[in-house]
């Protein structure tokens, strides 16, 4: 990869230095995007088959990118995916279908991750957690972080019986082995599918503490995204809000996080109804 880049750079330099080359020869690079596939179906529906629910586009069964049939255990999840496919207008915008993408990733598991890999990935996230890095040089920002982030850290410490401490300078916070074990134990209680959703949430928020809080229903999705973007929001007050950057990223993060939270909840919530027997 690097070698190729170097070669490209050297060629560009050579092209620039040779004056006898007419300017028109210099190649203009055009980024070619793949056109999204057209919407080839009219109606979407959900089929219940043994062991799960399938999504049907007209009469074709939905398949994952790897070619395995789409099959999920939860009915609402299948309905949500069918609705998402139904919401596509002329083209199927796959990059914006977070819920379907998450299901596909969980079914295909393209990186062949095991539960241990994923838990380790999440554990390695703790020392770089967003809410543990606070800033004490600016009074207003520090107050904001103190009021908004500290209660979440306190909740996390209480909920998982850990002792995570925030840091006010560049040194990463110390996480003891004991705390790591406790969090790992909690994460291991989730299934492999659910952990995919968990990783998606953590990657979106850049914080395992906020992700746990929103999955445990302590925060709403909007609030969690606002907390993850706390400093950005603070700086916006001075430098102005740009719709195509700040709003766009906020909406994107919200939809990603909501997809992850839905996925986790619908995958691990099982309930049964106990009916009164009428004698």
Is 248 an interacting residue with respect to another protein (CB under 8 A)? Answer: yes
Count of chain residues binding another protein (CB under 8 A): 39
CB of 273 to another protein, least distance (A): 6
Binding mask 47-76 for another protein (x = CB under 8 A): ----------------------------xx
Is 147 an interacting residue with respect to another protein (CB under 8 A)? Answer: no
The rounded distance, in Å, linking the Cα atoms of 253 and 211 is 12
The rounded distance, in Å, linking the Cα atoms of 94 and 81 is 12
The rounded distance, in Å, linking the Cα atoms of 150 and 100 is 34
- Residue 171 makes CB contacts below 8 A (sequence gap 6+) with none
Is 77 an interacting residue with respect to another protein (CB under 8 A)? Answer: no
Which CB, 85 or 133, lies closer to another protein?
85
The rounded distance, in Å, linking the Cα atoms of 18 and 96 is 45
Please give the order of strands across the beta sheet that includes 52-57. Answer: 44-49, 52-57, 60-61
The answer to whether the CB of 197 falls within 8 A of the CB of 260 is yes
Applying CB under 8 A, among 40, 272, 277, 278 the residue interacting with another protein is 272
Stretch that binds another protein, among 18-26, 118-126, 143-151, 217-225 (CB under 8 A): 217-225
Applying CB under 8 A, among 79, 141, 184, 268 the residue interacting with another protein is 79
CB of 42 to another protein, least distance (A): 9
CB of 203 to another protein, least distance (A): 17
Which CB, 80 or 131, lies closer to another protein?
80
Is 106 an interacting residue with respect to another protein (CB under 8 A)? Answer: no
Structure token pair of residue 263: 């996925």
Is 182 an interacting residue with respect to another protein (CB under 8 A)? Answer: no
Residue keyed to tokens 């766009």: 248
Rounded alpha-carbon distances, angstroms, from residue 124 to 62, 89, 172, 202, 257: 35, 40, 12, 11, 20
Is 175 an interacting residue with respect to another protein (CB under 8 A)? Answer: no
Applying CB under 8 A, among 244, 277, 278, 279 the residue interacting with another protein is 244
- Residue 172 makes CB contacts below 8 A (sequence gap 6+) with 127, 128
- Residue 80 makes CB contacts below 8 A (sequence gap 6+) with 99, 262, 266
Instruction: Assign 3-state DSSP to the chain and report helix, strand, coil percentages, each to 5.
Output: 60, 10, 35
3-state secondary structure of 3: helix
Applying CB under 8 A, among 17, 112, 217, 277 the residue interacting with another protein is 217
CB of 40 to another protein, least distance (A): 13
CB of 269 to another protein, least distance (A): 7
The rounded distance, in Å, linking the Cα atoms of 112 and 124 is 19
Q: Return residues touching another protein (CB under 8 A).
A: 44-46, 75-76, 79-80, 82-83, 86-89, 96, 98-99, 217, 220-222, 243-244, 247-248, 251-252, 254-255, 258-259, 261-262, 265-266, 269, 271-274
């Amino acid at each position: 990869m690097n070698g190729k880049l170097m070669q490209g750079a050297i060629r560009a330099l050579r092209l620039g230095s040779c004056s006898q080359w007419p300017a028109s020869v210099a190649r203009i690079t055009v980024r070619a995007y793949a056109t999204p596939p057209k919407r080839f179906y009219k109606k979407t529906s959900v089929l219940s088959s043994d062991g799960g629910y399938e999504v049907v586009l007209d009469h074709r069964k939905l398949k994952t990118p790897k070619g395995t049939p789409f099959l999920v255990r939860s009915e609402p999840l299948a309905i949500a995916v069918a609705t998402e496919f139904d919401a596509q207008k002329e083209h199927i915008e796959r990059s914006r279908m977070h819920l379907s993408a998450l299901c596909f990733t969980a079914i295909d598991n393209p990186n062949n991750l095991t539960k241990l890999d994923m838990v380790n990935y999440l554990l390695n996230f703790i020392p770089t957690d967003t809410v543990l890095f606070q800033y004490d040089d600016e009074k207003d920002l520090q107050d904001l972080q103190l009021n908004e982030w500290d209660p979440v850290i306190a909740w996390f410490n209480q909920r998982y019986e850990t002792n995570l401490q925030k840091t006010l300078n560049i040194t990463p916070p110390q996480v003891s082995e004991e705390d790591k074990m406790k969090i790992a134990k909690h994460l291991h209680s989730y299934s492999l599918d659910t952990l995919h959703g968990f990783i998606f949430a953590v990657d979106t928020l850049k914080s395992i503490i906020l992700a746990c809080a929103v999955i445990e229903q302590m925060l709403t999705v909007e609030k969690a995204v606002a907390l993850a973007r706390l400093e950005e929001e603070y700086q916006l007050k001075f430098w102005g809000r740009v719709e195509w950057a700040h709003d766009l990223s906020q909406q994107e993060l919200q939809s990603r996080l909501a997809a992850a939270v839905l996925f986790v909840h619908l995958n691990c919530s099982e309930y049964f109804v106990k009916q009164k027997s009428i004698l």
